[in-house]
């Protein structure tokens, strides 16, 4: 007993459990809803609810919750117990189809970006039967979408489901044109690789910056950082190994396919990758994974940091969104085929992605924008803020040959005519990898590498699905009306390559020369959240997103507002934390040490009047001048923070933060870090970078 195969998914109301606990009729009807999006009637919901409750109670649950993903970026839940009074004064455990389908949390404190005035505070949650219910801490969690009473989405799941639907619809049109009558549904699959740091819990508790903001706002560079690169794939330390084992077990119980784990480049940094699944489920699972990582870490006396940049000067954490499109019959549409016809189809889907990424670079960029991720992108440790696609030499060569009509191939050069010749086979080659590309083709999937470690993967996939659906729509419109299918297909593929080849780049994305080149090519380079977020509401983006049915215009505007608000609040909290740490910890520590050194020097002189006190004097002088500099910057920072209250326009406030607040925080930090190097370790009020990065054994 208790082997992985026994416990895997033991806390999930999955297909296996459904099949065993529902009548054949109810099961069929629910399957139809899950697989094909058919609507569900109340009698079926009632039967499912009862089975779900019985299963949950048997597995120790006492409560249920509609589990949802508001725009805060984390998940929310409100627990209700199953108990219901019975006539004899006792209680029974009850759960109805109505309770399963719809919930009404008081939603007034969730961000809505002006969509919902507080007097109409109630939103509602609606069951998402395509993601399995699960048990977490004695509570049956029902994945749900979260909307306002007017039907506007207030969460990250609703638009994700809509984007998957949009892509399904357009991809099916294309498949039918290729004579595929079997495929019922096209879904996108995602495997998100998750990076994180682990630090000792006791040390964490001594750092207000980590507690309040998730990142260190102060900290001098330790003598050793990541320069030896000896941590990457290094031996996993016992405490970390114990954490990982425990984490895997918890994730497996929830049916999460945690598969690989290893140390990352930075000390104390690690990565976890699951086996890919349908985007919707992968998103739910990634949210759960982040939550459970943090919980399990605490049990091991550790804290899991999911911030994009917990430590300055040390690589930050990202998340790689591996993405592909597949049919319900099991075909990966991004996999090059065996026959010429399959290859033409592959090339069309590939071109749809190329066109989508070029046309909607801005949307992809802003889908990963947060105050935290601003520290990573373009800082030579993660892809630049410029979106581009890596295809590898071989595929690029093929596309170039198609565009120019010139022969392709090594010794035996052939002219590629789509629908006639099979493409040369290109291997899924792991050596042909480009780790600096924001959007890389890796044989049968794309890896979008700009996501930050704490991002919900929802946003990136919403934009990706919507943009690709749009390309496919353009293609399908043209092909459906075409007189000569093959000819039209050929010319469309050629045109796409010609029009969008500027987005293709196989070189080093970290190189400054690429940024200059990208500018010449006319690619967007939005360095910060404030630079890119307003473009969500650009006319072309509103047009595409509303036509694809992914967002309403109102939702788009509300999201710009919410994301900018989030940026402003995040940085303001950081600035306030700095002020607090300076006044209550850093300056008092400097004073203490200066006092100690001065006292020591005086004592020395009293004892030996001719002794040298050059060292003591220098330390006191340097530290006093640091303290003065720290004080001045802190006062300036306080002035800037106070000034933010005067802004009513959130974009203007964001610009002020980007242009003045953040640079001032940098200045303050630089002097405080210098002071740290001059002060005795005993007097310094919180653990150093060295302690935090190398403290877990
Ligand atoms: P890497 O070399 O980047 O580690 P892997 O094959 O191990 O490549 O995959 C990394 C991630 O990509 C894993 O989460 C994996 O499940 C996922 N993945 C693999 N194939 C696909 C696919 N067709 N669609 C989406 N994700 C995929
Ligand atoms: Mg990878």
DSSP 173-231: HHHHHTT--S---EEEEEEEEEEEEEEEHHHHTT-HHHHHHSS-S--PPPS--STT--S
| CB distance 524 to 387 below 8 Å | yes
**Closest ligand to residue 256's CA:** 1
Task: Answer whether 139 contacts ligand 1 (Cβ < 6 A).
Answer: no
- Same domain for 610 and 475? no
**Which residues have a Cβ under 8 Å from the Cβ of 215 and sit 6 or more positions away?**
209, 305, 307, 309, 310, 311, 372, 375, 574
Residue 251 inside a domain? The answer is: no
Task: Answer whether 273 contacts ligand 1 (Cβ < 6 A).
Answer: yes
* Distance in Å, CA 324 to ligand 1 centroid: 9
Helix (H) or strand (E) holding 366: helix 361-367
Q: What is the pLDDT of residue 430?
A: 44
Please give the Cα distance from 570 to 463 (Å, whole number). Answer: 24
Mutate to test the pocket of ligand 1, among 164, 190, 232, 276 (most ligand atoms within 8 A of CB): 276
* Distance in Å, CA 190 to ligand 1 centroid: 8
- Same domain for 89 and 181? no
- Same domain for 472 and 340? yes
* Distance in Å, CA 447 to ligand 2 centroid: 7
**Prediction pTM value:** 0.93
Task: Answer whether 332 contacts ligand 1 (Cβ < 6 A).
Answer: yes
Tell which atom from ligand 1 comes closest to the C-alpha of 323. 25
Residue nearest to atom 11 of ligand 1 (CA): 191
Tell which atom from ligand 1 comes closest to the C-alpha of 274. 14
Residue nearest to atom 13 of ligand 1 (CA): 191
Q: What is the pLDDT of residue 119?
A: 46
Residue 209 inside a domain? The answer is: no
Q: Which domain holds residue 454?
A: 163-191+319-551
Residue 236 inside a domain? The answer is: no
Task: Answer whether 445 contacts ligand 1 (Cβ < 6 A).
Answer: yes
- Same domain for 520 and 589? no
Return the ∠ at Cα 491 (arms to 408 and 175), rounded to 5°. Answer: 100
* Distance in Å, CA 313 to ligand 1 centroid: 29
Task: Answer whether 286 contacts ligand 1 (Cβ < 6 A).
Answer: no
Please give the Cα distance from 418 to 486 (Å, whole number). Answer: 8
Beta bridge partners of 323: 190, 446
* Distance in Å, CA 286 to ligand 1 centroid: 14
Residue 267 inside a domain? The answer is: no
Tell which atom from ligand 1 comes closest to the C-alpha of 191. 14
Buried b (16+ CB within 10 A) or exposed e, 88-98: eeeeeeebebe
Q: Which of 551, 575, 590 is the last residue of a domain?
A: 551
* Distance in Å, CA 192 to ligand 2 centroid: 9
- Same domain for 540 and 571? no
* Distance in Å, CA 387 to ligand 2 centroid: 17
Supply 164's token pair.
């998957």
- Same domain for 145 and 186? no
Q: What is the pLDDT of residue 606?
A: 96
List the CATH number of the domain containing 25.
3.10.20.70
* Distance in Å, CA 382 to ligand 1 centroid: 19
Task: Answer whether 189 contacts ligand 1 (Cβ < 6 A).
Answer: yes
| CB distance 293 to 306 below 8 Å | yes
Q: What is the pLDDT of residue 448?
A: 97
- Same domain for 369 and 503? yes
**Dihedrals phi, psi of 197, to nearest 5 degrees:** -110, 150
- Between the CA of residue 452 and those of 78, 87, 157, 459, 686, what are the distances in Å? 27, 54, 18, 11, 27
Q: What is the pLDDT of residue 431?
A: 45
Q: Which of 551, 580, 609 is the last residue of a domain?
A: 551
- Same domain for 475 and 620? no
Beta bridge partners of 263: 270
Mutate to test the pocket of ligand 1, among 191, 323, 429, 433 (most ligand atoms within 8 A of CB): 191
Tell which atom from ligand 1 comes closest to the C-alpha of 444. 23
Query: How many structural domains are present in the chain?
Result: 3
* Distance in Å, CA 446 to ligand 2 centroid: 10
Task: Answer whether 190 contacts ligand 1 (Cβ < 6 A).
Answer: yes
Task: Answer whether 322 contacts ligand 1 (Cβ < 6 A).
Answer: yes
* Distance in Å, CA 276 to ligand 1 centroid: 6
- Same domain for 75 and 139? yes
Task: Answer whether 187 contacts ligand 1 (Cβ < 6 A).
Answer: no
Q: Which tens digit of pLDDT belongs to each residue from 236-269?
A: 888 999 999 999 999 999 999 988 888 887 889 9
**Closest ligand to residue 430's CA:** 1
List the CATH number of the domain containing 626.
1.20.120.1560
* Distance in Å, CA 3 to ligand 2 centroid: 29
Q: What is the pairing mode between strands 446-452 and 83-85?
A: unpaired
Task: Answer whether 276 contacts ligand 1 (Cβ < 6 A).
Answer: yes
* Distance in Å, CA 283 to ligand 1 centroid: 15
Task: Answer whether 275 contacts ligand 1 (Cβ < 6 A).
Answer: yes
Residue 341 inside a domain? The answer is: yes
**Dihedrals phi, psi of 96, to nearest 5 degrees:** -100, 165
- Same domain for 25 and 112? yes
- Same domain for 384 and 480? yes
- Same domain for 675 and 535? no
* Distance in Å, CA 443 to ligand 1 centroid: 10
Q: Which of 134, 155, 176 is the last residue of a domain?
A: 155
**Closest ligand to residue 192's CA:** 1
Task: Answer whether 334 contacts ligand 1 (Cβ < 6 A).
Answer: no
Residue 197 inside a domain? The answer is: no
Residue 265 inside a domain? The answer is: no
Residues of the chain short of pLDDT 70, as ranges, are 1-2, 106-108, 114-122, 228-229, 339-341, 409-432
Please give the Cα distance from 466 to 163 (Å, whole number). Answer: 5
Please give the Cα distance from 566 to 696 (Å, whole number). Answer: 32
Tell which atom from ligand 1 comes closest to the C-alpha of 273. 14
Please give the Cα distance from 258 to 186 (Å, whole number). Answer: 24
Residue 54 inside a domain? The answer is: yes
């Amino acid at each position: 007993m208790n082997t992985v195969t026994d416990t895997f998914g033991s806390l999930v109301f999955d297909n296996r459990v459904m099949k065993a606990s529902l009548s054949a009729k109810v099961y069929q009807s629910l399957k139809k809803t899950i697989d094909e999006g058919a609507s569900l009637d109340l009698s079926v919901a009632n039967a499912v609810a009862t089975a779900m409750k019985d299963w949950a109670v048997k597995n120790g649950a006492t409560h249920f919750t509609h589990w949802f993903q508001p725009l805060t970026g984390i998940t929310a839940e409100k627990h209700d117990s199953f108990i219901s009074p019975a006539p004899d004064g006792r209680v029974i455990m009850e759960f109805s189809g109505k309770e399963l389908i719809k919930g009404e949390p008081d939603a007034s404190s969730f961000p809505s970006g002006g969509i919902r005035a507080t007097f109409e505070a109630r939103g509602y949650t609606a069951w998402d039967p395509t993601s399995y219910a699960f048990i977490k801490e004695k509570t049956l969690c029902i994945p749900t979408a979260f909307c306002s009473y007017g039907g506007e989405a207030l969460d990250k799941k609703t638009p994700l489901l809509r984007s998957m639907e949009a892509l399904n619809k357009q991809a099916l049109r294309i498949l039918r044109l290729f004579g595929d009558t079997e495929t019922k549904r096209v879904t996108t699959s995602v495997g998100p690789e998750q990076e994180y740091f682990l630090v000792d819990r006791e040390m964490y508790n001594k750092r207000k910056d980590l507690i309040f903001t998730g990142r260190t706002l102060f900290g001098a560079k330790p003598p050793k950082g990541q320069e030896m690169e000896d941590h990457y794939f290094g031996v996993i330390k016992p405490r970390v190994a114990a954490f990982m084992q425990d984490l895997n077990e918890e994730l497996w119980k929830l049916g999460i396919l945690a598969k690989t784990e290893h140390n990352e480049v930075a000390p104390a940094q690690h990565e976890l990758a699951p086996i890919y699944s349908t985007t919707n489920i992968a998103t739910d699972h990634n949210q759960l994974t982040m939550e459970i990582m943090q919980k399990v870490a605490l049990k091991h006396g550790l804290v899991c940091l999911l911030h994009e940049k917990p430590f300055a000067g040390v690589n930050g954490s990202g998340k790689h969104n591996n993405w592909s499109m597949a049919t319900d019959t099991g075909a990966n549409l991004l996999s090059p085929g065996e026959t010429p016809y399959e290859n033409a189809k592959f090339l069309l889907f590939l071109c749809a992605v190329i066109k989508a990424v070029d046309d909607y670079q801005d949307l992809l960029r802003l889908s990963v924008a947060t105050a935290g991720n601003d520290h990573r992108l373009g800082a030579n440790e993660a892809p630049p803020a410029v979106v581009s696609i890596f295809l590898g030499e071989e595929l690029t060569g093929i596309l170039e040959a198609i565009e120019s009509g010139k022969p392709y191939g090594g010794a035996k050069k052939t002219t590629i005519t789509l629908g006639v010749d099979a493409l040369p086979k290109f291997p899924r080659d792991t050596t042909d990898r480009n780790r600096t590309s924001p959007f890389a083709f890796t044989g049968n999937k794309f890896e979008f590498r700009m996501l930050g470690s704490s991002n919900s993967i929802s946003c990136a996939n919403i934009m990706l699905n919507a943009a690709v659906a749009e390309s496919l729509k353009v293609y399908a419109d043209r092909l459906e009306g075409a007189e000569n299918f093959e000819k039209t297909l050929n010319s469309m593929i050629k045109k796409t390559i010609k029009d969008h080849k500027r987005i293709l780049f196989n070189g080093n994305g970290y190189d400054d020369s690429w940024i200059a080149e990208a500018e010449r090519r006319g690619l967007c380079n939005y360095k910060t959240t404030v630079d890119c977020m307003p473009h969500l509401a650009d006319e072309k983006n509103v047009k595409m997103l509303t036509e694809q049915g992914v967002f309403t215009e109102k939702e788009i505007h509300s999201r710009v507002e919410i994301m900018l608000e989030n940026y402003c609040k995040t940085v303001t909290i950081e600035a306030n934390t700095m002020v607090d740490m300076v006044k209550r910890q850093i300056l008092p520590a400097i004073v203490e040490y200066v006092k100690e050194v001065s006292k020591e020097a005086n004592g020395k002189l009293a004892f030996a009047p001719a002794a040298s006190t050059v060292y003591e004097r220098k330390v006191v002088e340097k530290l006093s001048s640091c303290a003065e500099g720290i004080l001045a910057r802190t006062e300036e920072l306080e002035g800037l923070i106070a000034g933010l209250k005067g802004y009513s326009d959130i974009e203007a406030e964001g610009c002020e933060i980007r242009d003045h607040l953040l640079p001032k925080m940098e200045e303050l930090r630089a002097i405080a870090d210098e002071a740290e190097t001059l002060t005795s370790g005993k007097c310094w009020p919180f653990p150093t970078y060295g302690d935090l990065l190398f403290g877990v054994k």
